[in-house]
């Protein structure tokens, strides 16, 4: 039995407004893979991520993400697409006026988690997954940066997504904490989930080698070896 890719782009062009960012994007990611996405400032990484989560519409070509065809996606389907993926941000994006538990409870309520599915147990489960079982009562400012990122990862796991999109998840962390977060993400990958991670961190790529895809010159290409990468140009977050 053939396993369908969890991400599949086929001759897709990615736009920001009328501006072509990436052309002829063709690549796939299989279930359970860990894939790095790299590229210098302005290369289109952020636009690709925004297309994956339907923040940018796909206007030309084809793409299928967690079972949804992006080229024909209806607005009403976007929340359901996003429930099947979890997004981890560089700057955590926690609600600072409520506890860790209440941050997670808010997401469950917002995404339609039903009471009969026991939200309290789900929150306990994801906090245990990220090693924060005893921190649910803490406010975000009482946590270290690494702990806040663990909460952000727990939040991404709440709806049991198939795909984790991690956008520079170690960008605000020291090297030791970055390695701990990487080990956590790899552990999540080893449970069968797919992880796509945007990064500029060469030391992490060397320490934790996985398949690497690069945005460059309006193209998305496979990186065969780390030696091919010019990391001097990958030190800032790109925008778009």
Tens of pLDDT, residues 202-213: 899 999 999 999
The total number of structural domains that make up the chain: 2
**Does position 77 have pLDDT exceeding 50, yes or no?**
yes
**Does position 239 have pLDDT exceeding 90, yes or no?**
no
Coil, helix or strand for 87? strand
User: pLDDT tens for residues 143-181?
Assistant: 999 999 999 999 999 999 999 999 999 988 999 999 999
What pTM was estimated for this model as a whole? 0.89
**Does position 236 have pLDDT exceeding 60, yes or no?**
no
> What angle, rounded to 10 degrees, do the helices at 100-110 and 119-129 form?
120
pLDDT computed for residue 66 by the predictor: 95
Side-chain half-sphere of 54: how many Cα atoms within 13 Å? 21
State whether 117 and 171 are in the same domain.
Answer: no
State whether 136 and 172 are in the same domain.
Answer: no
Q: From CA 70, how far away is CA 73, in angstroms rounded?
A: 5
Angle at CA 149, nearest 5°, toward 223 and 99? Answer: 160
State whether 171 and 74 are in the same domain.
Answer: yes
Q: From CA 96, how far away is CA 101, in angstroms rounded?
A: 12
Q: From CA 239, how far away is CA 224, in angstroms rounded?
A: 25
**Does position 111 have pLDDT exceeding 90, yes or no?**
no
**Cβ-based neighbours of 53, under 8 Å, separated by 6 or more:** 81, 82, 85, 87, 165
pLDDT computed for residue 123 by the predictor: 93
User: pLDDT tens for residues 112-130?
Assistant: 776 557 888 899 999 999 9
**Does position 234 have pLDDT exceeding 80, yes or no?**
no
Average pLDDT, the chain: 89
State whether 116 and 234 are in the same domain.
Answer: no
State whether 240 and 192 are in the same domain.
Answer: yes
Side by side, which strands form the sheet with 19-29? 19-29, 7-16, 60-65, 68-69
State whether 167 and 197 are in the same domain.
Answer: yes
pLDDT range class, residue 232, cuts 50, 70, 90: low
State whether 178 and 105 are in the same domain.
Answer: no
**Does position 235 have pLDDT exceeding 90, yes or no?**
no
Dump strand ranges (E) for the chain.
7-16, 19-29, 34-39, 60-65, 68-69, 85-88, 163-167, 194-198, 211-216, 219-223
User: pLDDT tens for residues 30-47?
Assistant: 999 999 999 987 899 999
Q: From CA 209, how far away is CA 114, in angstroms rounded?
A: 39
Which tokens belong to 95? 């609600």
Q: Is residue 90 part of a domain?
A: no
Q: Is residue 89 part of a domain?
A: no
Query: What average pLDDT does range 223-228 have in this prediction?
Result: 70
Q: Is residue 92 part of a domain?
A: no
C-beta separation of 209 from 226 below 8 A:
yes
Q: Is residue 182 part of a domain?
A: yes
State whether 76 and 168 are in the same domain.
Answer: yes
pLDDT computed for residue 238 by the predictor: 41
Domain that holds residue 142: 98-160
**Cβ-based neighbours of 198, under 8 Å, separated by 6 or more:** 36, 37, 38, 45, 46, 49, 166, 167, 168
Which tokens belong to 152? 């952000």
Q: Is residue 155 part of a domain?
A: yes
Range of lowest pLDDT (61-65, 83-87, 114-118, 192-196)? 114-118
State whether 150 and 223 are in the same domain.
Answer: no
Query: What average pLDDT does range 63-73 have in this prediction?
Result: 95
State whether 3 and 76 are in the same domain.
Answer: yes
CATH of the domain at 179: 3.40.50.300
Query: What average pLDDT does range 174-200 have in this prediction?
Result: 95
State whether 80 and 173 are in the same domain.
Answer: yes
DSSP state of 3: P
pLDDT computed for residue 92 by the predictor: 84
Last residue of a domain, one of 118, 135, 160: 160
State whether 77 and 173 are in the same domain.
Answer: yes
Q: Is residue 72 part of a domain?
A: yes
């Amino acid at each position: 039995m053939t396993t369908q890719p969890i991400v599949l782009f086929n001759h897709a062009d990615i736009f920001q407004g009328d501006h072509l960012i990436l052309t002829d994007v063709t690549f796939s990611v299989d279930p359970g893979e860990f894939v790095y996405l790299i590229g210098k400032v302005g290369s289109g990484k952020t636009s690709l991520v925004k297309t994956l989560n339907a923040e940018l519409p796909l206007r030309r070509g084809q793409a299928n993400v967690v079972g949804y065809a992006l080229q024909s996606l209806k607005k009403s389907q976007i929340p359901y697409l996003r429930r099947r993926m979890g997004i981890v941000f560089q700057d955590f994006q926690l609600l600072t006026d409520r506890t860790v538990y209440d941050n997670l409870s808010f997401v469950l309520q917002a995404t339609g988690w039903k009471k009969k599915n026991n939200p309290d147990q789900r929150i306990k489960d994801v906090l245990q997954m990220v090693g924060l079982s005893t921190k649910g009562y803490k406010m975000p400012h009482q946590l270290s940066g690494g702990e806040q990122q663990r909460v952000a990862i727990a939040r991404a796991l709440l709806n049991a997504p198939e795909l984790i999109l991690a956008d520079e998840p170690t960008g605000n962390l020291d090297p030791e904490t970055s390695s701990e977060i990487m080990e956590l993400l790899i552990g999540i990958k080893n449970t069968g989930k797919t992880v796509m991670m945007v990064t500029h961190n060469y030391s992490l790529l060397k320490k934790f080698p996985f398949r690497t895809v690069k945005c460059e010159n309006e193209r998305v290409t496979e990186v065969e070896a780390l030696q091919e990468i010019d990391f001097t140009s990958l030190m800032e977050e790109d925008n778009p």
